[in-house]
Structure 1
Amino acid sequence: MKKGLSTFDLNLLVAFDALMTERGVTRAGRRLGITQAAMSNTLRRLRTAFDDPLFIKTGPRMEPTPRALELSGMIDSALTLVHSALNNDNFDPASSHYVFRVGMVDYTVPLVFPTLLQHLEKHAPNCVLEVVNTGDFQGEMLESGEVDLVLSRLDTAPSGLRTRLIREIPFVCLYRPDHPIIKEPLTLEDYLRARHVHYYPPCVEEAIVDVGLHSQGLDRNVVVKLDSFGMVPTLVAETDLVASVTRTAANVVAPAMGLKTQPLPFESPKLKLVMVWHERTQLSAPNQWFREQVTQHLEKMDESGQ
């Protein structure tokens, strides 16, 4: 930057954020309520301030330069802090239009959404829930400000992040009725004989249930691997495949799909579901409220087994 903070127009940061979101001068101007000419002038001022083109016309869109991408996370974080400072004292869930940005792997969606959405509809009807698939969480999305909260399996959190262990969830075997191999009670021999569909989130090297099996020198007969949980219940319902899923996920999908469950016939680690957030949102009133809603609903599900 060529100028110091005392002479820098902080409104340019809002304009930068609009350009990053809309990737076009006209759309960014519309977002800010100003004309295309005014937005073009603002972009010129941004380029001068940061001594970089920042956004380059590529077809119908404007793509950010490497410098713009570098600035994006820092500017987003700064705007988030300002927003929190201005709104901390008067956050009212009933009237707020706050956007809660949550990162999670898709297998956590059935754990959270059914009851949480009902709660938000009643107590925060104008708020928006924006969900981003995190894969195996490493912290980058929180550090960049892309999301405000992450629900993930996590052993250790990177520096600058806060965590709360919400619950430990056991795994069960999910299968269709009249399965040719799986009977009651489920034996280890039958479990290993069955053909398995294995769901693996992005970046996860080893499934939790396989950790338990490998400790005994055993392996499942995995014949289908999916990187999305969505197709797992359908494949289990329509084929002889079985799946090892969390108990809470099974409690949601099994009744809906007419499937059955049994506990795993061996000792397996449980899924540690952890809530993670960045230090900068620790005192944010909207995020404090939302974290409590998520925690309460997940703890209630844990107590009821649903």
Structure 2
Amino acid sequence: MLYTNALRQLDMQDISIVLLLIENRSAKRVSEILNLSQSSISYSLKKLRHCFDDKLFESSEGAMQPTARVLAMKPYLQNIMQCINQCAIEGAGQSSVPRQWNITAPEYFEILMLPTLLQQVRSTGRNWSLSMSRLGKDLPINELLASDIDVCFGFGPGYHQRHPLLNYRSLNEDAFVCLSSVPKHQPKTALDIDEFCETPQIFPTPWLSEKNMVDGWLEKQSRRRTILTRANSYHAGVNILLAVPALIVVPEKIVATLNVSPKIKMLKPPAGFPTFTLDMIWSRERNIHSDFHQLEALIEKIKI
């Protein structure tokens, strides 16, 4: 039984709205996350204030500041959302139709994390499928906000433009190495910037972009490298090295997966060469869904 009849007015959208307002402090942002009009947000907030006999949020310095009452309510509202989602998950577990996760990621993720993630999904008995798409030049911000893409993996720090309605988390740090089949590089352990720029290079395109962080770093030095050809994957790029004397730049942690020939020398890049992080990116609206937190927990367990 409900404590008061007024509580009968509430629905799950009202609870979603109040939780997102607590996190974002902005009715406009919440309307964008949920794809609702601001008048719908206002109407829901009016119902909530009536039901709980409290302002819940007060305008202060251009933001909606939560009252002590609504902050005290927050864990109970989160529990309601988790329980409802769990009911849906239990039902989905009895269905032959898997829960499909739409994931956008570069080849780096597919090589180092996807196999382990699939293994964990299988071992936990979840009826999930993972639908992968290749990361493009820009983050798929609109698709993330519209929930057409559940989670995206990109590079940092600062490589992609940040958006206020998205969450970002760094999962892994890595550096680059140079793999070279150029004969004069064989006695060396490292390249200087002149040697690096003058050597014909294989440009791997593990995500769809005309440039990458290496080119951005070179532009800051007023330098450019010589691109011999482009390859669709790191594996294809390394294979090309066996046919022509050239160089390819790859993340250090994937070298062990590439079956590199003894004829190819691994070299340190020029001093000051960029490093990077692999970042997980998702819409803040996902934070109220318990099944997403289950996916997030599996991803965070992966150590590379």
CA distance in 2, matches of 1:111, 1:258: 24
Partner of 1:159: 164
Output the amino acid matched with 1:150: C
CA distance in 1, matches of 2:204, 2:163: 26
Provide closer, same or farther for how the CA distance between residues 267 and 251 of structure 1 changes in structure 2, counting only shifts above 3 A.
farther
Equivalent residues in 2 for 1:50-65, closer than 5 Å = none
Output the amino acid matched with 2:162: A
CA distance in 2, matches of 1:247, 1:205: 22
Question: Contact 2:144–2:283 at 8 Å: present in 1 too?
Answer: yes
Q: Deviations over 1:125-161 (max 9, x none)?
A: 6321111123131412212222111111253422321
- Answering whether residue 120 of structure 2 is matched by residue 119 of structure 1, we say yes
Output the amino acid matched with 1:185: T
Deviation at 1:201, TM superposition (A): 5.8
Name the % identity: 18
Provide closer, same or farther for how the CA distance between residues 258 and 250 of structure 1 changes in structure 2, counting only shifts above 3 A.
farther
Deviation at 1:276, TM superposition (A): 0.7
User: Which of the residues 206, 211, 219 maps onto 2:216?
Assistant: 211
- Answering whether residue 288 of structure 2 is matched by residue 283 of structure 1, we say yes
- Which consecutive unaligned segments of at least 5 residues does structure 1 have? 1-72, 76-82, 302-306
Provide closer, same or farther for how the CA distance between residues 84 and 143 of structure 1 changes in structure 2, counting only shifts above 3 A.
farther
Partner of 2:228: 223
CA distance in 1, matches of 2:108, 2:100: 22
Question: Contact 1:211–1:268 at 8 Å: present in 2 too?
Answer: no
Partner of 1:88: 86
Deviation at 1:241, TM superposition (A): 2.5
- Answering whether residue 192 of structure 2 is matched by residue 194 of structure 1, we say no
Provide closer, same or farther for how the CA distance between residues 151 and 182 of structure 1 changes in structure 2, counting only shifts above 3 A.
same
CA distance in 2, matches of 1:122, 1:253: 27
TM-score computed with the length of structure 2 as normaliser: 0.60
- Aligned residues: CA RMSD: 3.3
CA distance in 2, matches of 1:274, 1:258: 34
Question: Contact 1:208–1:269 at 8 Å: present in 2 too?
Answer: yes
| Aligned structure 1 segments of 4 or more residues deviating by more than 6 angstroms | none
Question: Contact 1:151–1:274 at 8 Å: present in 2 too?
Answer: yes
Q: Deviations over 1:222-244 (max 9, x none)?
A: 11134555632322344322211
CA distance in 2, matches of 1:159, 1:88: 28
Provide closer, same or farther for how the CA distance between residues 268 and 228 of structure 1 changes in structure 2, counting only shifts above 3 A.
same
Question: Contact 1:149–1:276 at 8 Å: present in 2 too?
Answer: yes
Output the amino acid matched with 2:154: S
- Answering whether residue 185 of structure 2 is matched by residue 182 of structure 1, we say yes
Q: Deviations over 1:251-296 (max 9, x none)?
A: 3224599855332132122223211111221122221111122122
CA distance in 2, matches of 1:128, 1:253: 26
